[in-house]
């Protein structure tokens, strides 16, 4: 009975896809694909606009149109104006963080050829947290730019270590190995970070800030130092997109096609870490965005990274902004940190991916 009910969709779907496989319709197919991409892009842009509006309009305090317009034009005369004005940097940060994490996750999935790769899963959060803690406790760093550099260093080292551990085993970095290596590294690094903090009562509050990631309380002063890093990250990853396409064919094929595999990998890795490191430094750990977004975009635009990465940026921004709005509405008048919301969206997607793909056993 069960198999019977499963059969018809299979035949039906093969009936649908069959015409596309005929060579004569290839141009129509690619034109159609282009139009899907175009429509998808428009849809995402519309969604982003909607998300921005919602993010400015909704929050702990209910405001009307006059206050929103006043705040957008720079007035902060009433409490309502001020409330809206405080939502602007937060919205900006949500957009930036979502775009950066989405692209970073896409690049990491391409780089590791692994469907489960994600900044959080690769130990980036714990690495950045440990680096910042050590920087503060031992080297006395206290300004945002220094935090960002330290976070990038920690994030990069952790990601490289996790990937190295997973790929040193015979048979390469399977999703399971990568997830386990990430879990082990995260456990060790967060234990170490706590060990550094515990003797120092003065910085104990730091633990709180990386337990759950969020964009609440963001200020423009916090965001400005991140911008150059993100800009560099976006440029580098977009330049690396073609290389990622070749890497997806396998190292040997990519090398055979004239690609310098090591350079391609290094370049994409640097780009990905430049994107997720600074975001982790100011927002804390926001998991699963980098995992979910590229997978969703693959359904929309296929596996070409030149399309996938820009779409991931857009979709990531939409996802994170909407998650933030949702977090504000669902726990009204308090709020749910966006890291919790994304974990609840992301974990089911993670499980769905695990169920639907053949994961190499350890």
Partner 1 sequence: MNRLTLQPAARFSQMRRVQARQRVRMLAILGAILLAGVMLTLTLGQSFTPLTTVLRILGGAEVPGAGFTVRELRLPRAVISILTGACFGLGGIAFQTMLRNPLASPDIIGISTGASTGAVFAIVVFSMSGPAVSVVAIVAGLGVALLIYMLSWRQGVTGGRLILIGIGLAAMLQSVTAYLLMRAPSWTLQEALRWITGSVNGAQLDQALPLLIALLLFGGLLLSRSRDLETLRMGDDIAAGLGVRLATTRITIVISAVALVAFATAVSGPIAFVAFLSGPIASRLMAHRGSLLIPSALVGALLVLLGDYAGQFLLPARYPVGIVTGVLGAPYLVYLILRDNKSRGTL
Q: Which of residues 19-48 bind partner 1 (CB under 8 A)?
A: none
Q: Determine the Cα–Cα distance for residues 59 and 335; give it in Å rounded to an integer.
A: 8
Nearest Cα neighbor of 339 from 289, 291, 277, 274 is: 289
Q: Which of 127, 287, 294, 310 binds partner 1 (CB under 8 A)?
A: 287
333 binds partner 1, rule: CB under 8 A: no
Q: Which of residues 199-238 bind partner 1 (CB under 8 A)?
A: 199, 204, 207-208, 211-212
* Token pair of 249 as six digits: 């064919």
339 binds partner 1, rule: CB under 8 A: yes
Which residue's CB is nearer to partner 1, number 58 or number 344?
344
**Minimum gap (Å) between residue 238 Cβ and partner 1:** 29
Q: Determine the Cα–Cα distance for residues 229 and 235; give it in Å rounded to an integer.
A: 10
What 3-state class would DSSP assign to 274? helix
Q: Determine the Cα–Cα distance for residues 152 and 164; give it in Å rounded to an integer.
A: 18
Which residue's CB is nearer to partner 1, number 162 or number 218?
162
In the block, residue with structure tokens 């090398």: 255
Which residue's CB is nearer to partner 1, number 234 or number 350?
350
191 binds partner 1, rule: CB under 8 A: yes
What 3-state class would DSSP assign to 140? coil
Length of the chain: 362
Q: Which of 21, 39, 169, 239 binds partner 1 (CB under 8 A)?
A: 169
| C-alpha dist (Å) from residue 188 to 129, 160, 171, 183, 241 | 12, 15, 25, 9, 33
Residues that bind partner 1 (CB under 8 A): 116, 120-121, 165-166, 168-171, 175-177, 179-181, 183-185, 187-188, 190-192, 194-195, 197-199, 204, 207-208, 211-212, 287-288, 334, 336-337, 339-340, 343-344, 346-347, 350-351, 354-355, 359-362
């Amino acid at each position: 009975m069960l198999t019977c009910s499963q059969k018809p969709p299979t035949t039906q779907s093969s009936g649908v896809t069959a015409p596309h496989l005929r060579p004569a319709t290839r141009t129509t197919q690619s034109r159609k694909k282009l139009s899907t991409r175009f429509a998808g892009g428009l849809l995402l842009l519309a969604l982003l606009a909607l998300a921005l509006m919602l993010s400015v309009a909704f929050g702990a305090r209910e405001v009307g149109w006059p206050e929103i317009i006043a705040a957008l034009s720079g007035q902060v005369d009433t409490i309502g104006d001020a409330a809206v004005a405080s939502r602007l940097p937060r919205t900006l940060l949500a957009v930036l963080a979502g775009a950066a994490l989405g692209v970073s996750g896409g690049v990491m999935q391409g780089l590791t050829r692994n469907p489960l790769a994600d900044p959080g899963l690769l130990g980036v959060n714990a690495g950045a947290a440990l680096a910042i803690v050590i920087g503060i406790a031992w080297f006395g760093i206290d300004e945002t730019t220094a935090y960002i550099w330290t976070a990038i260093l920690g994030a990069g080292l952790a990601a490289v270590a996790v990937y190295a551990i997973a790929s040193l085993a015979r048979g390469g970095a399977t999703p399971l190995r990568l997830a386990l290596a990430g879990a082990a590294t995260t456990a060790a690094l967060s234990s170490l970070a706590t060990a550094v903090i515990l003797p120092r009562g003065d910085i104990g509050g730091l633990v709180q800030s990386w337990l759950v990631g969020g964009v609440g309380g963001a200020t423009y002063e916090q965001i400005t130092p991140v911008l150059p890093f993100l800009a560099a990250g976006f440029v580098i990853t977009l330049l690396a997109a073609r290389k990622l396409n070749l890497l997806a064919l396998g190292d040997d094929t990519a090398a055979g096609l004239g690609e310098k595999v090591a350079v391609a990998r290094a370049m994409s890795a640097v780009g990905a870490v430049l994107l997720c490191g600074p975001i982790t430094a100011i927002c804390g750990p926001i998991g699963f965005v980098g995992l979910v977004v590229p997978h969703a975009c693959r359904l929309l635009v296929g596996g070409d990274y030149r399309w996938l990465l820009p779409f991931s940026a857009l979709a990531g921004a939409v996802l994170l902004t909407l998650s933030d709005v949702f977090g504000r509405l669902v726990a009204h008048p308090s709020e749910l940190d966006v890291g919790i919301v994304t974990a609840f969206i992301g974990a089911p997607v993670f499980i769905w991916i695990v169920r639907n793909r053949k994961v190499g056993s350890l």
